[in-house]
Amino acid sequence: MRAVVTGGAGFLGSHLVDLLLSNGHEAVIIDNLITGSTDNLAHLAGNSRVKFIKQDVTEFLFVEGPVDFVFHFASPASPVDFLRFPIPVLKVGALGTHKALGLAKAKGARFMLASTSEVYGDPLVHPQPETYWGNVNPIGPRAVYDEAKRYGEAMTMAYRNFHGLQTRIVRFFNTYGPRMRLDDGRVVPNFVKQALLGEPLTVYGDGSQTRSFGFYKDIVDGAYRLAMSDYAEPVNIGNTDELTILDFAKLIIELTGSSSTIEILPPLGDDPKQRKPDLTRANTILEWHPTTGLREGLAITIEHFRARLATS
């Protein structure tokens, strides 16, 4: 299979590229490097099964040769980026999805949209099944991401229903692992970096908000399984081990052996109070279950960040 991966120089995108290559496929990566980095692809230098195109995917996508699958993974994904790059976030989720779908249609390729638990907004149903329509503020600080992804899902279904395209929608919950940017702003790199540097861990709000963290290996494995299935409805991919952000801060301090303290900061606007996937669909349809425990995945991630900090 020859696959196009938009956002293939990003955290999840580059791990997906590695998985595709290890399964014998070829990858054409398209990324404008706004948040991605060629450092994530450095180990692939000289690999004849990989091609890199530096391009903004909101512009017309031209790929020479056959394409069997388009994975649309491009987008900044940190709430900090939603404030730094609001227009690019809107454009990549909306116009970028349109261009990626157009490429898939032109090539007769299958298509996967990397969507998000943010389509559920600040959820009033817990845990969140795919059938939940969400509670999203259309003009809030996260709206640029949430609404663009919701639009992207609608666009994906329209291409399926109107053009007969073979489409998949994966809704990723919080993910973590090596290759996240140290300055990404999300809670895992923030807390780990702060703990390793002996700085206070910055908890936004009272820390009672919950998240469930999925290790990148499990996450890209779940996405790949969905891609290879013939299931067209959205599927949640994540981890069901839920904990409060305050407990998460304590866990990072414990696992890093840090003497850092915890600093309580004002809450972020529209910060979801609870988040945990209902994974019944992934369990039954894909026979997929996450296998990496939080402590195990964090230990690997902490060592990765420790090495990065030592060389930065």
167 and 232 in contact (C-beta within 8 Å)?
yes
In the annotation, is 145 catalytic?
yes
Pairwise CA distance, residues 132 & 173, whole Å: 14
Q: Which of 242, 250, 271, 304 binds ligand UDP (CB under 6 A)?
A: 271
Q: How many CB atoms lie within 10 A of CB 49?
A: 14
Q: Is 79 in the site for ligand UDP (CB under 6 A)?
A: yes
Stretch that binds ligand UDP, among 22-30, 129-137, 182-190, 304-312 (CB under 6 A): 182-190
Which residue has the closest beta carbon to ligand UDP? 186
- Least separation, in Å, of the C-beta of 98 and ligand UDP? 24
- Least separation, in Å, of the C-beta of 114 and ligand UDP? 14
73 and 8 in contact (C-beta within 8 Å)?
yes
Phi, psi angle pair for 300, to nearest 5°: -65, -45
- Least separation, in Å, of the C-beta of 100 and ligand UDP? 23
The one-letter code for the residue type at 250 is: K
Q: Which of 61, 187, 219, 302 binds ligand UDP (CB under 6 A)?
A: 187
- Least separation, in Å, of the C-beta of 156 and ligand UDP? 21
Phi, psi angle pair for 281, to nearest 5°: -65, -50
Catalytic residue among 145, 159, 176, 224: 145
Q: Is 12 in the site for ligand UDP (CB under 6 A)?
A: no
- Least separation, in Å, of the C-beta of 145 and ligand UDP? 8
Q: Is 204 in the site for ligand UDP (CB under 6 A)?
A: yes
Contact flags string 17-56 toward ligand UDP, x per CB under 6 A:
----------------------------------------
212 and 292 in contact (C-beta within 8 Å)?
no
* Closer residue to ligand UDP in complex, CB, 167/236: 236
CA torsion angle for 103, 217, 297, 312 (degrees, to 10)?
A: -50
Pairwise CA distance, residues 307 & 192, whole Å: 12
For 83-107, letters b (16+ CB in 10 Å) and e give eebbebbbbbbbbbbbbbbebbeeb
Q: Alpha helices, DSSP H only, in the chain?
A: 11-22, 79-84, 86-107, 143-163, 187-197, 216-228, 245-256, 280-285, 294-311
Q: Is 134 in the site for ligand UDP (CB under 6 A)?
A: no
* Closer residue to ligand UDP in complex, CB, 149/308: 149
Q: Is 244 in the site for ligand UDP (CB under 6 A)?
A: no
- Least separation, in Å, of the C-beta of 37 and ligand UDP? 19
* CA within 13 Å, CB half, 134: 17
27 and 8 in contact (C-beta within 8 Å)?
yes
Tokens representing 13?
A: 């995108």
Stretch that binds ligand UDP, among 67-75, 204-212, 231-239, 255-263 (CB under 6 A): 204-212
Q: Which of 115, 128, 190, 239 binds ligand UDP (CB under 6 A)?
A: 190
Residues identified as active-site: 145
